[in-house]
Amino acid sequence: MRKAIKEIKVGLGTCGISAGGELIFEEIKNELEKQGANVKVKETGCMGMCYMEVLVEVSINGESYLYCKVTPDKVKKIIDMHIIHNKPIDEWIIKNKGKILKEETFFKKQKKIVLKNCGAIDPGSIDEYIACDGYKAIKKVLESYSKDEVIDIILESGLRGRGGAGFPTGLKWKYISRSKRNKKYIICNADEGDPGAFMDRSILEGDPHSVLEGMMIAAYAIEADEAYIYVRAEYPKAVHRLTTAIRQCQERGYIGNGIFRSDKNFKVTIKEGAGAFVCGEETALIASVEGKRGIPRIRPPFPAQKGIMGKPTNINNVETYANVPWIILNGPDAFASMGTEKSKGTKVFALAGKVVRSGLAEVPMGITINEIVFDIGGGIKDGRKFKAVQMGGPSGGCIPASLGDLKIDYDELVKTGAIMGSGGLIVLDDTTCMVDMAKYFLTFTQNESCGKCTFCRIGTKRMLEMLKKITSGEGQEKDLRLLEDLAYKVKDNSLCGLGQTAPNPVITTLKYFRDEYMAHIKEKRCPAHSCPALMTYRINPENCVGCSLCLKNCPVNAISGNSKEIHTIDREACIKCGLCYDVCKFGSVEKV
């Protein structure tokens, strides 16, 4: 009788680690040792279902079972029942032998190209990547295609840059390939500074070899022999797995001189960024790679003309490069068959905010906002009302729930005043103040401004001052006219993309949620009960049971009342800290 082949994989992307995945990994190894079980334990990247972490996959003779929300106390039972006695614990399993048992709609509308290996292979193993057709695309290119044929394939696929602006990837490569300069560079932009965005990080943590292979193909197409990966130093796991992947490639002859026994050379260097948001802008990124302060410069010349050390330089982000091997192996028509007329293929979104299922989702272009929020995301937490999505990070905008049937592609999103950005999608409910949301993102971009140009340095500061006035109850109607006028001036006159897009959250909230601005100004009221200066608390006598929890927790003794009697709040003494609201178990403390 053939001995069963057993394997356990633990999701150890940053999401899994933060949920306690490393502890689970060690617990599994210790328990297997105690039981004397000969089972291989491996780590893998993010499986997408961040809301279900820690995720553990048990595989026996190729049949896999995915356990969710695994805790240390569950480990012993999983090992004993499933590994030792071959009795899966159904109530903890979310996926069985490829069949989805629970959370079906999270998977149903996804199409995985970039994420096909994430959560499926060990990102630290080049052999596992090769077993999944890894490095076949670059070999095919080196053996069968000219550089112009590779560029034509990417052009025909319709692939657009996944870093924000959506510029056609093949067109950028074609422009650089025509340069007669004897030295050219490749850059992978893995800076990913948007709050709420974690797509590129998860790809690097879960499948770093796909990014390296995509970069190799791009280098071949434009005749570059040297590359930089500009990655945030705050991504230690991504940096570690990238470093491992590069070392493995060097050992195999995939990186270095004469790659894959050809006459082509390819060198890769990791450059760790210090976390400046402005370095996501390509000219600032290039300055940082060169060891200078990361400040944007006037364009033209564009990096394709004059980049690193004044040489032609191609810059794409992580997700863009990760698409390339799949396109080469499956053909441009397969990629172009997905999506919309002008936005082909798939897009990875980081789903966060007030949504039931937060995580990573890869969907065909053209899917609607409602499909992502409700079918994939499972709807709004606590049964609250869907209000808006914030897309594109600080450079993006807020799209109201009334536009939920909008198809997501580059051109449709621009019409709303938002942008695709790198793929951050934050879901907002009716407890979110849209004025405060605009203030939050403008605070971020104002702090991150490099200060080189006046409109970004001073304009965003003045806009932020007006938003602070409005949220503190001191705003006037004339402030809205001035705020809107200044927003467009900053947008039209700033030097780089950071300043040009910084007003987008303000412009879109003024466009779709102007009534909330007016409530703050005319009624001195925050409809979402979110702005502390415009919010007061009261105790509803119908619900108060006199438990005194609010009284005991009030830091300024603004609450009075005897035990088992109705309590009251002195609004003059109240500092609006909200502790009474948080501790009340009967819903008697209300925001007004």
529 belongs to a structural domain: no
Straight-line distance from the first to the last Cα atom of the chain, in angstroms, rounded to the nearest whole number: 72
Same domain, 190 and 317: yes
Residue where one domain finishes, among candidates 304, 335, 366: 335
Is 478 domain-assigned?
Answer: yes
Q: b/e map of 397-406 (b: 16 or more CB within 10 Å)?
A: bbbbbebbeb
Q: List the domain range (segments joined by +) for residue 251.
A: 126-335
Alpha carbon distance 372, 364 (integer Å):
11
d(CA 292, CA 290): 6
* CATH code for the domain of 72: 3.40.30.10
Question: Tokens 């210790």 appear where?
Answer: 30
Residues 545 and 505 grouped into a single domain: no
* Residue finishing a domain among 102, 137, 157: 102
pTM for the complete prediction? 0.93
Q: Render the burial of 243-261: b for 16+ CB within 10 Å, e for the rest.
A: ebbbebbeeeebbeeebbe
Q: Is 340 within the bounds of a domain? A: no
Tokens of 494: 């700033």
Would you give per-residue pLDDT tens digits along the chain (592 residues)? 456 778 999 999 999 999 999 999 999 999 999 998 889 999 999 999 999 999 999 998 888 999 999 999 999 999 999 999 999 998 999 988 656 666 677 888 999 999 999 999 999 999 999 999 999 999 999 999 999 999 999 999 999 999 877 899 999 999 999 998 889 999 999 999 888 889 999 999 999 999 999 999 999 999 999 999 999 999 999 999 999 999 999 999 999 999 999 999 999 999 999 989 999 999 999 999 999 999 999 989 999 999 999 999 999 999 999 999 999 999 999 999 999 999 999 999 999 999 999 999 999 999 999 999 999 999 999 999 999 999 988 888 999 999 999 999 999 999 999 888 888 899 999 999 999 999 999 999 999 999 999 999 999 999 999 999 999 999 999 999 999 999 999 999 999 989 999 999 999 999 999 999 999 999 999 999 999 889 889 999 999 999 999 999 999 999 999 999 999 999 889 998 889 999 999 999 998 8
My answer on whether 205 and 234 are in the same domain is: yes
Domain assignment present for 527: no
Q: Could you tell me if residue 341 is inside a domain?
A: no
Residues 6+ apart with CB under 8 A from 127: none
* 89 in any annotated domain: yes
Q: What is the pLDDT of residues 521-551, one digit of tens each?
A: 999 999 999 998 898 899 999 999 999 999 9
Residue with tokens 């550089």: 147
| 146 and 294 fall within a common domain | yes
Q: Given 490, 522, 554, which residue is the final one in a domain? A: 522
Separation in Å, CA 402 to CA 290, 336, 398, 399, 413: 46, 30, 12, 8, 14
Task: Check whether residue 71 and residue 170 sit in a common domain.
Answer: no
Q: Are residues 486 and 404 in the same domain?
A: no
Q: Are residues 176 and 64 in the same domain?
A: no
424 and 454 within one domain = no
Alpha-carbon span 337 to 332, nearest angstrom: 9
Tally of domains in the chain? 5
Co-location of 190 and 285 in the same domain = yes
pLDDT of residue 98: 58
- Is 409 found in the same domain as 272? no
DSSP letter for 100, please. E
- Answer yes or no: is 112 within a domain: no
Q: Are residues 209 and 280 in the same domain?
A: yes
